[in-house]
Chain A
């Protein structure tokens, strides 16, 4: 398993649009990818789960990937978080 932590800088956190874009990023990978806020853990390929995690500005989330392409997945998602959130 590989993971990274990220503190959300975006004013509005993970609302509908970023959730959709994140799923788009995560879905092509075979690995199981999740976003953990410490209180809620969401499947990064499920829009409803991501929106329900209530990720807001200032929160530190742990993004993890486990599977055959976990390295690539983590690299792509890290880039996504840095550019979008």
Chain B
């Protein structure tokens, strides 16, 4: 660790939205995510369909299909949780929306519920990218990958 690293303050910790395994974003087969077009982040291979808020903040975008949710965390980070790949095409089938747009949430609050078996049976990959959409505003975004996680366990550390 360099001298200055000791003074660097961790700006914020982003929690896992799901129970499962946190992996590198590079493992996502959709280039929209793996090439970081939407921003930097990690992905969670879910084992349970309860999708929870990754941080304290406000829900900015709840897709009417319930397959993805955007929120602005209290520190200003814009987070996207995208459940599965191409799941927009399911048009809400298998997804239950709990939280509303504009709603204030605490880390760990239930945002939506996904029937993972149903989504898998329909032929979709359920891997769930967790993205910092305004990645450019941070000097460092570190994914804590290759570990089993529960909702709320830190999966990303960001620094201004």
Contact = CB atoms under 8 A, between A and B. Distances in A.
Interface of A: 12, 15-17, 19-21, 23-24, 46-48, 51-52, 54
Interface of B: 30, 32, 37-39, 60-61, 63-65, 68, 70, 72, 78, 80, 82, 88-89, 133-134
A15 B133 CA distance: 14
B60 A20 contact: no
A71 B81 CA distance: 35
A15 B68 contact: yes
Contact of A21 (B37, B60, B68): B37
B61 A48 contact: yes
The secondary-structure label for the interface of chain A is: helix
A25 B68 CA distance: 23
B32 A47 contact: no
Given A48-B60, A48-B61, 8 more contacts: A16-B82, A16-B88, A17-B37, A21-B32, A23-B37, A46-B134, A47-B80, A52-B60
The 5 closest A-B pairs by CB, nearest first: A20-B37, A52-B61, A47-B133, A20-B38, A48-B78
B88 A51 contact: no
30 contacts: A12-B88, A15-B68, A15-B88, A16-B38, A16-B68, A16-B82, A17-B32, A17-B37, A19-B38, A20-B32, A20-B37, A20-B38, A21-B32, A21-B37, A23-B37, A46-B133, A46-B134, A47-B38, A47-B80, A47-B133, A47-B134, A48-B60, A48-B78, A51-B61, A51-B70, A51-B80, A52-B60, A52-B61, A52-B70, A54-B64
